[in-house]
Amino acid sequence: MSEYNHNSFEPKWQKYWQDNNIYKVDIDKSKPKYYTLDMFPYPSGAGLHVGHPMGYIASDIVSRYKRLKGFNVLHPMGFDSFGLPAEQYAIETGQHPAITTEQNISTFKSQMNKIGFSFDWSREVQTSSPEYYRWTQWIFEQLFNAYYDKDENKAKDIAELVKHFEANGSEGINAECDDDATVFTAEDWKGYSDNEKATILLQYRLTFLSEAMVNWCPALGTVLANDEVKDGVSERGGHPVERKKMKQWMMRITAYADRLLGNLDRLDWSDALKEMQRNWIGKSIGCELDFKVADSDITLTAFTTRVDTVYGVTYVVLAPEHELIPTLTTDAQKEAVETYVEEAKNRSERDRQSDVKTVSGVFTGSYVINPLTGEKVQLWIADYVLSGYGTGVVMAVPSSDDRDFRFANHFDLPIIRVIEGTEDMEDPTQVKKGKMINSGFLNGLDSDEAIKVAIDKLVESGQGKAKVNFRIRDAVFSRQRYWGEPVPVYFDENDSPQLVPDQQLPLNLPEVENYLPTPEGDPPLGNAKDWKFDDKFGYELTTMPGWAGSSWYFLRYMDPQNKEAFVSKEAVEYWNQVDLYVGGTEHATGHLLYSRFWNMFLFDMGFIGHEEPFQRIVNQGMIQGRSNFVYRVKGTNQFVSYGLRKDYDVQPLYVDVNIVNNDELDTEKFKEWRKDYADAEFILEDGKYMCGHVVEKMSKSKYNVVNPDVVIEKYGADTLRLYEMFLGPIEQSKPWSMQGIDGVWKFLRKMWRLFYNDQGQLVVTDGKATPEELKILHKTIKKAGEDMESLSLNTTVPAFMVCVNELAAAKCHKKEVLEQLLVILSPFAPHIAEELWHEALGHEDSVILASFPEFDASLLVEASHTYPVSINGKMRVKIDLPMDISQEEAKEAVFANEVVKKWVEDKPIKKFIFVPKRIVNVVV
RNA sequence: GCGGGUGUGGUGAAAUUGGUAGACACGCUAGACUUAGGAUCUAGUGCUUCACGGCGUGGGGGUUCGAGUCCCUCCACCCGCACCA
């Protein structure tokens, strides 16, 4: 074969790998395991664009590398196949989402296979298949049957809680539960009806029904979890979201808040990612303290992290939603308060968020007593206090909190400075910590000390206690949609939720004629005919959220066909944690928290042996689109080139980037692109039509989507793989550009020419490699190995280029060298490696089964080193010196050099620095 | 506002973690071979200067024999969170 021609062999090897099940893996205890995972995609109708495979390519390279290094590598792929787009499409067209989804998956798979990924497709999972969601439902049932014991700090079987209730009632139980959990005795418990018992247990279960404020999105017709709402609108589609009280299934993720936070320290994730999770969990350590309402027996409990500043409290504020407001409002203030509360209620979430600077509030007319100072201060209501955080009551310290400061200034409330040094400052909140002043028994203490002393005092007098608060909320689990897992629950004659028995799982998603809510306002599942448990009891009509199926799929890959369990003990023991998880940062607070939560729960219950699912995560950057524009002269069919557009009155129009090459428009293709452009005329510059460009998200409507199939057609999968890595560090976002892909392609052609000459004759020779040739090879082995371990894949490609350039220059065609080069290149470019491995080198087995060559350090040892010699820190000349030269000898040699003499002249030598194998620096 | 990150040629980017700044590619320039070139090969290519040289890693300052790398300070851009008490 005379020329490198990817089309002639890439499909051939893809078929060979598939036919020979080369990527199929099984438990093999004789080998160490390695688990590489990609965040599985939602199979959208648009197919893959060139941005998607970047992470997949990186993880594929690592998988292939680890395999060559002797690991048994689990590298699966599957589909997160429940989701909104397929359902929206069903609503519009009546097409069942399962059909659309199946078609899309088939497109995705064919695109992936063309790139040559080493996935073990026999382990594929699809979250929407009943065989899979049977176990998602099963996990839901385990969560239903469990509660969280705060003493042992783990989830336990709900039966143990029942035992405790039977013996002691609610006395002495330290478990995660609803805030308003019932208090009762063992006697009470025995007297309760089944229904009453069920209601109480629901207050403890890790998945539970609750009447709660939720994010309701009318446009999508469903509630959304907090992480699915961004800036007050839905993350998908950008529709407005309202707060609404609804009965919903919830997940008690807050039980795990502290462990989810604490474990972060031992995970090998980027700081940014960990920080995002920390923020989301939002732990704050502080205390609760009681403010008695003056002339009343009501006590308000406030949460603060800065109890040291308690002497600076000049007023206390309630959230507008606080339920005691009517009782606490004096008659004189009644009207003002009601007006304010009404207004605050009507402000949308979005308003409240975007308008942070406006100060508003109202005085209740009541006063409260500071528990530590005995001072009487005003009680206010303001919407800067959130009902959902802490207790909905804030002790305001205008001298150290920005919001309190603004508020006090606005309403002319007193400000007491309690930190030394802030006495004369216009804005005392600029200094947050220091020695306490004006603070009674806290005077002279440092802020941090004062916090401890103040808490002790509060505890002593029974007016407060240390308290840790979390920002994270329990997760809403219900979705009022069709295309998701049915919740395996029915409601009995008392309307009490009951689990569908295990033997009857999966509870299949029923057929419906209409994917919209029922006329009664029930979710779409309400349209299912005769869908009842035991023909009697109605099933739960909401479905599970998108994150349910994706919260445990990494476990199912280990044992995907298991009919007896979600994963066998043996499989999960062997494959254990995911060693490398590659995916986008957009899942930082959703998927990655929920997965950790479920995994931790399954660990607590003894089903799996590891607490954290993903030891190492690498977030690949986004590939942005690069849109092109043409400029039509208004009212004509004339298009003016980018550089000349200023001379005309033009309208920029998107043009398909696939008919533009390096910003130059293919005018012929442009005329064919659309009917109305068929007789377009062009005003050219330098004989070319140049387009404008802008970097933005890849999307169909912007005509900037580049399909990997197109790149593969022209350059081949190996070039695509190498090029996507060559573009830069994997974590970095960058616009897609084809500039430079030629360089990678040329590299593969050069590589090819080490094996075949222009006439297509094999030129590989059998001779013994020279030390020089071995050196070229081994420094590449070293570099490639290190890079693949650290995922610096962008620098590996140049290392290969240098290697091939040097071998070509040395006219080295020796089998001994080329054979090993093919092995180390094969993770990046498996097709060309396999082709040459068989056709040029005559191997029978696949290169995938080879071993990664051992790097031999002794081959890189040199007799001499070229030292850069600097005079006063400026590099002036390079001198070859023997490796083992002493400082004295080096000095002699350096000063004998003409160039050095010229620079030094007769100036006195101040210093002579000699760093072996590095540098010489002369200071004059 | 808080937190995280990034700033290096015309472009994408390297730099053994304090030791020759710009590897490797794209692009560009010149030449060779060619009927032809969006093929291939050779040479050049940070800026500046005829040259010797000088200047160069967002700006300013510092530590050091030596700083893209460490410290201080300021600026710009990107990402995340945001009345969280």
Q: pLDDT for A598-654, tens place per residue?
A: 999 999 999 999 999 999 999 998 888 888 888 899 888 899 888 788 888 888 888
Query: Does residue A55 lie in a domain region?
Result: no
Q: What is the mean pLDDT of residues A570-596?
A: 94
For A838-851, give the DSSP string: IIIT--SS-GGGS-
A432 touches strand B (CB under 7 A): no
Whether A428 and A350 map to the same domain: the answer is: yes
Does A654 map to a domain? yes
Question: Average pLDDT in the A886-898 region?
Answer: 83
What is the per-residue pLDDT across A839-869, written as a single tens digit (0 to 9) for each? 999 999 999 999 999 998 888 887 777 888 8
* C-alpha to C-alpha distance for A880 and A894, rounded to whole angstroms: 10
Q: Please determine, for residue A1, whether its predicted confidence score (pLDDT) is greater than 60.
A: no
DSSP A540: P
Which residues, in sequence order, are CB contacts of A315 under 8 Å at separation 6+? A377, A378, A379, A380, A396, A408, A413
In a domain, A707, yes or no: yes
**Whether pLDDT at A96 is above 60:** yes
Q: What is the structure's pLDDT at A186?
A: 94
What confidence score (pLDDT) does residue A689 get?
Answer: 84
Q: Is the CB of A883 under 7 A from strand B?
A: no
Select from A782, A815, A845 the last residue of a domain: A845
Please report how many Cα atoms fall inside a 13 Å half-sphere around the Cα of residue A62, on the Cβ side.
25
Residue A828 covered by a domain:
yes
Both A639 and A714 in a single domain? Answer: yes
A792 touches strand B (CB under 7 A): yes
Query: Could you tell me if A779 and A870 lie in one domain?
Result: no
Distance CA(A428)–CA(A537), nearest Å, equals 64
DSSP state, residue A76: -
Looking at the fold, whether A873 and A835 belong to one and the same domain comes out as no
Clarify whether residues A827 and A874 are in a common domain. no
Instruction: Give me the DSSP letters along A872-904.
Output: TTEEEEEEEEETT--HHHHHHHHHHSHHHHHHH
CATH number at residue A783: 1.10.730.10
A239 versus A336: the higher-pLDDT residue is A336
Stretch A349-373: mean pLDDT, rounded?
A: 81
Mean of per-residue pLDDT scores for chain A: 90
pLDDT in tens, A144-196: 999 999 999 999 999 999 999 999 999 989 999 988 889 999 999 999 999 99
The answer to whether A704 touches A735, Cβ cutoff 8 Å, is no
Residue A113 lies in a domain: no
Residues A807 and A874 in one domain: no
Say if residue A41's pLDDT is above 60: yes
Residue A527: the pLDDT is 93
Pick from A276-285, A355-364, A412-421, A468-477: least confident: A355-364
Q: What angle do CA A849, A850, A856 make, to 5 degrees?
A: 155
As a whole number, mean pLDDT of residues A253-263 equals 93
Residues in chain A: 924
pLDDT band, very low/low/confident/very high, at A353 (cuts 50, 70, 90): low
Position A822 in a domain: yes
Q: What is the mean pLDDT of residues A327-334?
A: 92
Strand B at less than 7 A from CB of A435? no
Do both A814 and A869 map to the same domain? Answer: no
Q: Can you give the pLDDT at residue A355?
A: 66
Residue identified by tokens 């799929």 is: A553
Tens digit of pLDDT for each residue in A370-383? Answer: 999 999 999 999 98
Nucleotide B68 C1' to residue A774 CA (A): 33
Q: Domain check: are A374 and A425 in the same one?
A: yes
Select from A608, A592, A619, A490 the least CA-distant residue to A559.
Answer: A608
Q: Do A315 and A454 belong together in one domain?
A: yes
Q: Please report, for the domain that includes residue A907, its CATH number.
A: 3.10.20.590
- One domain for residues A757 and A870: no
CATH of the domain at A368: 3.90.740.10
| A788 and A915 co-located in one domain | no
Cα separation, A576 vs A579, whole angstroms: 9
Residue finishing a domain among A403, A436, A469: A469
Residue range A746-790, pLDDT digits in tens? 999 999 999 998 888 889 999 899 998 999 999 999 999 999 999
Residue A130: per-residue pLDDT: 97
Which structural domain, as residue segments, surrounds residue A304?
284-469
Is the C-beta atom of A802 closer than 7 angstroms to strand B? yes
Number of structural domains found in chain A: 3
Given a cut of 70, whether residue A88 has pLDDT beyond it is yes
At A779, list the tokens: 């420094």
A77 is a domain residue: no
**A323 and A412 part of one domain:** yes
Q: How confident is the model at residue A349 (pLDDT cuts 50, 70, 90)?
A: low
Percent of chain A with pLDDT over 90: 60
Nearest nt to A309, CA vs C1'? B85
Residue A647: partners with Cβ closer than 8 Å, 6 or more residues away: A640
Cβ-based contacts (< 7 Å) between A 133-192 and strand B: none
In a domain, A618, yes or no: no
For strand B, is any atom closer than 7 Å to the CB of A301? Answer: no
Residue that finishes a domain, picked among A798, A817, A845: A845
Indicate the pLDDT class of residue A356, thresholds 50, 70 and 90: low
Q: What is the mean pLDDT of residues A668-692?
A: 85
Tokens of A142: 């385990």
Residues A562-576 pLDDT 10s = 999 999 999 999 999
Are residues A235 and A276 in contact, defined by beta-carbon separation less than 8 angstroms? Answer: no
Predicted confidence at residue A67, as pLDDT, reads: 97
Averaged pLDDT for residues A204-229: 86
Output the CA–CA distances (angstroms, integers) from residue A534 to A491, A506, A634, in the order listed: 11, 15, 69
Q: ipTM of the predicted structure?
A: 0.94
Cβ < 7 Å from strand B, A residues 863-882: 866, 868, 870, 872-875, 878
State whether the beta carbon of A740 lies below 7 angstroms from any atom of strand B.
Answer: yes
